[in-house]
């Protein structure tokens, strides 16, 4: 499994209707380090095929990130 290969944990999953600009599902991941997150994002097996804009952000010094 891709997330397991990068030591990521799914913290929360929310399922919605997915119509219009609303996503059908949102997942929040936790990675043990910035390097693990960077490796995950560079892994050719993962797909960031989301509609609309994408944004990955993490507060300075925080290991969390958000992709919208």
**Is this prediction's pTM over 0.85?**
no
In 3D space, the residue among 13, 23, 10 whose CA is nearest the CA of residue 52 turns out to be 23
Task: Check if the beta carbon of residue 55 is closer than 8 Å to that of residue 66.
Answer: yes
Whether 67 has a pLDDT exceeding 60, the answer reads: no
Domain boundaries, the chain: 1-43
b/e 42-68 (16+ beta carbons within 10 angstroms → b): eeeeeeeeeeeeeeeeeeeeeeebeee
The better pLDDT of the pair 5, 47 is held by 5
Whether 53 has a pLDDT exceeding 80, the answer reads: no
């Amino acid at each position: 499994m891709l997330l397991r290969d990068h030591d990521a944990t799914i913290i929360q999953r929310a399922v919605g209707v997915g119509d219009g600009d609303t996503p059908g599902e949102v997942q929040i991941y936790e990675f043990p380090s910035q390097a693990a997150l960077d490796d995950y994002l560079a892994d050719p097996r993962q797909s960031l095929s989301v509609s609309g804009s994408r944004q990955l952000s993490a507060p300075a010094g925080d290991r969390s990130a958000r992709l919208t």
